[in-house]
Structure 1
Amino acid sequence: MKKILIAVVSLLLGLAAVSAPAEARVGFKRVAYFIQWGIYGRDFHVKDMETSGAAGKLTHVNYAFGFVNAEGSCYSADPWADWQRPVSAEESVDGVADEPGQALNGNLNQLRKLKAKHPGLKVLISLGGWTGSKYFSDAVLTPESRARLAQSCVDLWLRGNLPGLEAGAGAGVFDGIDLDWEWPGSAGNDGNVIRPEDKQNFTAFLVELRRQLREFSPDTQLTAFLPAAAAKIDAGFEVASIFRQLDFATVQGYDLHGTWEPRTGHNGNLFTDRRDPNPIRYSVDQTVRDYLSRGAPARKIVVGVPAYGQGWTGVKGGDGLYQPATGPAPGKWGPGTEDYKELVNKPGKRYRDLRTGTQWLYDGNEFWSYDDPAVLVEKAAYIRFKGLGGSMMWSIDQDDSRASLTGALYSVLS
């Protein structure tokens, strides 16, 4: 099977080399999300991106998340993690501990140090996420509210005017803003404010935000995270218009199936699976086609890949795929989900399907769908072949200590 995979990927890379436009053969984005709260139970720090070798293989780090409050302003959901927490020498990127009274501590200072070691690395503040998108609809409702929100985000995260610190203490950490509103015009987390006009207001907010970013610095980047489902795309996004405002967009390439469903399925299959019994068949390729058909330029589409798996328990029959389950499998951080670094050592039989770009693990009871380095090499080859913009990983703490997933993407997209 390994020889077959190598042959398939080699063929794709060969085709990509002769068929992709010249401008699409270079400059791939290699994005990874760093989660703010990972410094706690997960014990994953900014330094770990350096020691694993991941930092040198990335072009962008998206720092997740900044929130939007009921008043329509940007704010930090955890100032202690962001800029208040003193970092020890052991946990520091350069081995130097934070000193009492210094201007900036926490993750933001460590990100600044990481950028010093990797001058080409860009760090973006990601706004929203699943739990931080409740008030976006209110905040972008009028021209005045859009201007206020954009101004507050630029002031807090880019000018670095952080509460409790001297003016500009956080300047220079972030190179742009990544907008992760989940989701304009359609359901996201329980309690989110949703309006039909979110679709037009999302575009209008990007226009205003881009205007203010240009005033701040013409080199400031603006990106967004966009959904996989065609229904959510059409409910919330004027695709051609928003891509004109964005440097690039990362598109959801995971959670295509999950434990909210009563039977097993693929977390992030590259191609549509004819075996899939669901009435709507999702795949990374279908999502890319949906964006292209709506006017997104290929070079600005950055494909999301998971560093985690979706898992079910009580699964009986065959190879476990598309079988009924009794519920989510137990996971270290929550039911139904597990990090790649844990799954790679989990016992059971592994199955691989090159036609769909998938791998899964089944032990006769538990079923786990997750990507390993071989799957990511296949996905990266697809990105090259299609002339797309690059890859994005959620999230870097879930990769192993050798950055195996990050390295697999880099091997094809560098």
Structure 2
Amino acid sequence: MKQQWKWSLRLLIACASMALSNLASAAECNPWNSASVYTQGLYSTYGGKTWRAKWYTQNEIPGSNQWGPWEERPASECTPTVPPGGDGSGIPEPKPTVGKHLGSYFAQWGIYGRNYKLRNLVDTGGDKNLTFLNYAFGNVYADGRCNIVTRAENGNGDGGDGWADYQRGFAANESVDGVGDTWDAKLKGNFNQLKKLKLRNPNLKVMISLGGWTWSKNFSTFARTDAGRKALVSSCIDLYVKGNLPVAEGAGGAGVAKGIFDGIDIDWEYPVSGGLAGNAYDPSDKQNFTLLMKEFRTQLDALAAANKRRYYLTAAIGSGVDKIRNTEPGLYSSYLDWVNIMSYDFHGGWETVGPTNFQSALYGDSAAPVTGDLIKYNINDAVAALVAAGMPKAKIIVGIPFYGRGWKGVKAGPKGDGLYQAATSPAAGTYEAGVDDYKVLVQKRATRYVHPVTKQLWSYDGNEFWSYDDPAVINTKSAYIKAQGLGGMFSWSLDGDDAQGTLIKAMNVVRQ
């Protein structure tokens, strides 16, 4: 009897020890890895959810079989640990893209009037098509530093929206994974949705895009000196890549956004000339643009060596030949993983009374009423200019507009189609005169044409002329990209697509 009691006590202690061991294992979790072995009680994360193994398993995706070895558990039951050689964020490093790149821009402000959130992308399945996503935009302020503030833009380049970036709480029905933000979370807003998107698609590369049309004012000033470049680049990497967010509205803090951004996209509009009238300019911008790219590459590589992972550097550039000659494509592209050419806005409502013309033509038309550099405002001539200047074809990513540009009061002309005709003014648009989203334009009752030379679509109803891309035009451009050996395509911007994700799905043909 005494011996039996001792044996029972030992068994009880052993069981308790095993339970404690399982609890210790359960306290740690990392992203699921197909090569890893998971025994009963071990945790992992996959698809934005937390999973616990019910028995021995290897190479079975969590959630793929309701009767399988994995059961979903509350995220609070485990804490991500630092993966070997990682940045410590617990977010998997995306693998380099195989084949063509396929990307898009997500506009920070799209969550307001346009009511477009990253959940909309997920609902169409479009997130599975993308290899990269650029978040637009981050600002470089008058002190030559990246920062995040919440302040309405007054035209001096001093605005920002930290509320949208990481402070606004998203409800469950707005969230990528169907889980709402808690009031006390340090990371909310679009940044948390980007994080969840990366967990759904671990090979998606997310970049912060700096500048843009509104916030390119200060690039020239701080790119002129070595000290200015070093300070600017260091601040942007610290803020976005290292994830050290300003504390505001109960959110933010050191490392809070670490692992969300896999690199930086520079959208300087434009070196030497162009862009907003209040932007700083200097003839030395031509060389300084290259030096700024070099500094970004140097500092990103240093961080990559420390974290034993890769960081990406890209740029969005003007595709007009006048913008191209103001830079050194053969030099600066050596520091970049790829280059997004903004191959749209060739013509639009700023040409107030026309003549009507194409905003994103694939080829030039000798019959078009243009002169000088405008003759080469088309994709094919932009690509030719970049290649002639030394940019590798494989680094050229062609831009697709998810919107159109148009005029009203357009004369029918000799062919009755409104092409190359005078107008009275830009057409009315949902948010801005002369521009509207694809989802709006595709609903208009108008005759549609595709030009046999430029390969772009336009519509005309006897009064309004609109030029935009549809799936057929995108298919033609995809074939061009493949034939030319270019790197892929991207779009501006996701919120212009329809509720079915028609255009982002059409773009996927470039990877097939």
TM-score, length of structure 2 as denominator length: 0.75
Contact kept in structure 2, 1:384 and 1:413, CA below 8 Å: no
The Cα of 1:413 is off from its aligned counterpart by: 2.3
Q: Are residue 402 (structure 1) and residue 507 (structure 2) matched?
A: no
- Aligned equivalent of 1:264, options 356, 362, 374: 356
The Cα of 1:26 is off from its aligned counterpart by: 5.5
Counterpart in the other structure of 1:413 = 511
Q: Are residue 63 (structure 1) and residue 135 (structure 2) matched?
A: yes
Partners of 1:80 and 1:369 lie apart in 2 by: 35
- Aligned equivalent of 2:466, options 368, 374, 381: 368
Q: Are residue 193 (structure 1) and residue 283 (structure 2) matched?
A: no
The Cα of 1:166 is off from its aligned counterpart by: 2.2
The residue matched to 1:312 in structure 2 has which SS?
A: strand
The residue matched to 1:361 in structure 2 has which SS?
A: strand
Partners of 1:70 and 1:273 lie apart in 2 by: 43
What are structure 2's unaligned runs of at least 5 residues?
1-96, 149-159
Q: Are residue 211 (structure 1) and residue 302 (structure 2) matched?
A: no
- Aligned equivalent of 1:283, options 365, 378, 388: 378
Supply the AA of the counterpart residue of 2:279: N
Instruction: Tell me which structure has the larger Cα radius of gyration.
Output: 2
Counterpart in the other structure of 1:6 = none
Counterpart in the other structure of 1:351 = 449
Counterpart in the other structure of 2:387 = 292
> Where does 1:8-407 land on structure 2 (aligned, <5 Å)?
27-76=99-148, 77-164=160-247, 165-217=252-304, 218-235=309-326, 237-261=327-351, 262-279=354-371, 280-281=374-375, 282-317=377-412, 318-407=416-505
Partners of 2:344 and 2:449 lie apart in 1 by: 18
The residue matched to 1:151 in structure 2 has which SS?
A: helix
Partners of 2:292 and 2:429 lie apart in 1 by: 38
The Cα of 1:355 is off from its aligned counterpart by: 2.7
Contact kept in structure 1, 2:489 and 2:510, CA below 8 Å: no
The Cα of 1:354 is off from its aligned counterpart by: 3.8
Partners of 1:401 and 1:59 lie apart in 2 by: 21
Supply the AA of the counterpart residue of 1:283: N
- 1:39-73 deviations in whole A, cap 9, x for unaligned? 01110001111111111111111000001001000
Contact kept in structure 1, 2:106 and 2:134, CA below 8 Å: yes
- Give structure 1 regions of 4+ aligned residues with deviation exceeding 6 angstroms: none
The Cα of 1:177 is off from its aligned counterpart by: 0.2
Supply the AA of the counterpart residue of 2:302: E
Aligned Cα RMSD in Å? Answer: 1.1
* Residues matched between the structures, number: 389
What are structure 1's unaligned runs of at least 5 residues?
1-24
- Of 49-58 and 174-183, deviating more is 49-58
- 1:266-313 deviations in whole A, cap 9, x for unaligned? 010101112211003221101000101100000000001101000100
User: Which has the higher relative contact order, 1 or 2, with Cα contacts under 8 A spaced 6 or more apart?
Assistant: 1
Contact kept in structure 1, 2:355 and 2:369, CA below 8 Å: no
